[in-house]
A and B are shown apart, each in its own frame.
Chain A
Amino acid sequence: MAHFFIREKKLSFFVEFPKMGRADLRDFKKGIDESFKDFTREYGEAIEHFFDPLLYFLVWLEKLFLNTPWPIIMVAIAVLVYFGSRSLKLTIGAVLAFLVIGYLDMWEDTMATLAIISVATIVCISVGIPIGILMARSNRAQTLITPILDVMQTIPSFVYLIPVVMLLGIGKVPGLLAVCIYAIPPIVRLTNLGIRLVDKDVMEASEAFGASYSQKLLGVQIPLALPNIFAGVNQTIMMALSMVVIASMIGVKGLGVPVLRAISNQYLALGVMNGLAIVVLAILFDRVSQKFGKRLQAHTESMK
């Protein structure tokens, strides 16, 4: 090889990028695929069982949302929105929006979407906040985890759908995982940031009377970081909603399914209607959680 380059075609090195041999490359990729397939065969079932509780929970929530008579759900939504936002205008808006959604025959899909968003948010919060705390506690953890978060946020979702589907097949759980992978970075980042931004002086006050690590964390850092953590939750919900259509491609029920049908059959109205329903959900979640976050912040603000 070397001989060939130097003597005969010295220039070709510059003109053509030095590539791995075609056969080598094929073997290389095949090797990866094969070993992942082996891994799947070996552990796929165990991993699937690991996620069973999540599946049961999602199915249970979906059934609950769907089997509860719609007026009761409506009342529940109104109560939640009101207590989240303390805004009558927003509450009336939410009720009207859901009435229109139901009237246009999107009730069931909307309930399914609400179920998966709720479960994804719960998963993201319960996994993301501890990771965020870990990152805030250790600089090494931060330098290790930050690039992973970068990858999770920028890699095209279709790329990680491949291994997820290979491992778990098509269904609710892989869909849920895909949503969580995409939606978890903001809550991790903002938990980390929020804790790191807590005033050093205030931390010192708690140190000065001999508080333990967990007391400082739970009593001072997390309460003071709450507005930031809450901004993270808000963003996580938004990102989960934006994954609804992609999740539908691998078997998640909800508003994404009719959108996909609309794309392949060129049903303009169907696509727009369901798309707008997703937008309405997003706006409601956003406004309510922002108002709630502002209330959390109220007395901290008067400090400055």
Chain B
Amino acid sequence: MTSASASKKSTKNEISPIITINKLNKWYGKFHVLKDIDLEVNKTEKIVICGPSGSGKSTLIRCINRLEVHQEGSIIVDGTELTDDVKQINEIRSDVGMVFQHFNLFPHLTVLENCTLAPIWVRKKSKLEADEMAMELLTKVKIPDQAKKYPGQLSGGQQQRVAIARALCMQPRVMLFDEPTSALDPEMIKEVLETMIELAESGMTMLVVTHEMGFANKVADRVIFMDEGQIVEQNDPKNFFNNPKSDRTKLFLSQILNH
């Protein structure tokens, strides 16, 4: 079913999964957070994940770059399976960009240094090269003039855009977003969403945990609804919003759309 719905959407792209998750199970102690998750993400596909608080959305996308360790099943990212091998983990992490709810910028570094740190460390770029690319990306997220400031001097929206630019500086093959706008004031949500929409249009593969249904409608190839650690329903946005199948999805949608 997954591949069927995916192939419909990404007609112009070759259909090859960049992330393959198979029978993924994870427990926190006795608590079963993720239950038999199967998921394939194709190149350039945009997936929006939603669901009630505590349903395991964050845990799922954090498993993809092993910020969380899973106990059963397999996760294959770009042909490499996630195991305990630190080298492999770091290789996958360098190819997977992550944007956090609370930005998590390095407070002791300037905006520019935040962006160049990883390329210099991990990609072994020269400072000059890294600076050049960082400035280019900061221009793309529309804050090149803030490059010399420290994160603490920026607004939340600006910080999140820096965080996006920072992740893009690694030239990732996939971008993960964990509720990137939920810590922001309403007037700043828009500027971050615009940045994300542009990124989506550029062909990036994206997994986005968000409750911004406008964004999902506009950008997503597929919307996934999670509840109690399971993928309850997934569909293209039109069908997902207009005729949800499961009662749990209906309830959830009625709650967030009336909000």
Please determine whether B67 and A204 come into contact, CB atoms closer than 8 angstroms: yes
Q: Contacts A219-B121, A303-B151 given: A207-B107 contact, CB under 8 Å?
A: no
Query: Would you give the 0/1 interface string for B81-105, flagging 1 where the beta carbon is closer than 8 Å to chain A?
Result: 0000000011111101110101011
The distance in angstroms between the C-alpha atoms of A209 and B96, with both chains bound, is 7
Please determine whether A207 and B117 come into contact, CB atoms closer than 8 angstroms: no
Query: Would you give the 0/1 interface string for A273-304, flagging 1 where the beta carbon is closer than 8 Å to chain B?
Result: 00000000000000000000000000111111
Please determine whether A210 and B100 come into contact, CB atoms closer than 8 angstroms: no
Across the interface, A300 reaches (CB within 8 A) one of B90, B104, B108, B170, namely B108
In the complex, what's the smallest C-beta–C-beta distance from A117 to chain B, in angstroms? Answer: 29
Please determine whether A302 and B93 come into contact, CB atoms closer than 8 angstroms: no
Across the interface, A302 reaches (CB within 8 A) one of B67, B94, B153, namely B153
- Judge whether B73 is part of the interface by a CB distance below 8 angstroms: no
Across the interface, B90 reaches (CB within 8 A) one of A212, A299, A303, namely A212
The distance in angstroms between the C-alpha atoms of A202 and B159, with both chains bound, is 13
- Judge whether B188 is part of the interface by a CB distance below 8 angstroms: no
Please determine whether A205 and B107 come into contact, CB atoms closer than 8 angstroms: no
- Judge whether B122 is part of the interface by a CB distance below 8 angstroms: yes
Across the interface, B89 reaches (CB within 8 A) one of A205, A210, A224, namely A210
In the complex, what's the smallest C-beta–C-beta distance from A167 to chain B, in angstroms? Answer: 43
Q: Contacts A210-B90, A210-B94 given: A303-B102 contact, CB under 8 Å?
A: no
- Judge whether A211 is part of the interface by a CB distance below 8 angstroms: yes
- Judge whether B241 is part of the interface by a CB distance below 8 angstroms: no
- Judge whether B152 is part of the interface by a CB distance below 8 angstroms: yes
Please determine whether B108 and A224 come into contact, CB atoms closer than 8 angstroms: yes
- Judge whether A177 is part of the interface by a CB distance below 8 angstroms: no
> Nearest residue in B to A205 (C-beta to C-beta)?
B104
- Judge whether B118 is part of the interface by a CB distance below 8 angstroms: yes
Residues in B neighbouring A206, C-beta threshold 8 A: 106, 117-118
Please determine whether B91 and A210 come into contact, CB atoms closer than 8 angstroms: yes
Across the interface, A204 reaches (CB within 8 A) one of B91, B100, B118, namely B100
The distance in angstroms between the C-alpha atoms of A223 and B107, with both chains bound, is 10
Q: Which residues of A contact B (CB under 8 A)?
A: 199, 201-202, 204-212, 215, 219-220, 223-224, 299-304
Q: Which residues of B contact A (CB under 8 A)?
A: 65, 67, 89-94, 96-98, 100, 102, 104-108, 117-118, 121-122, 150-153, 167, 170
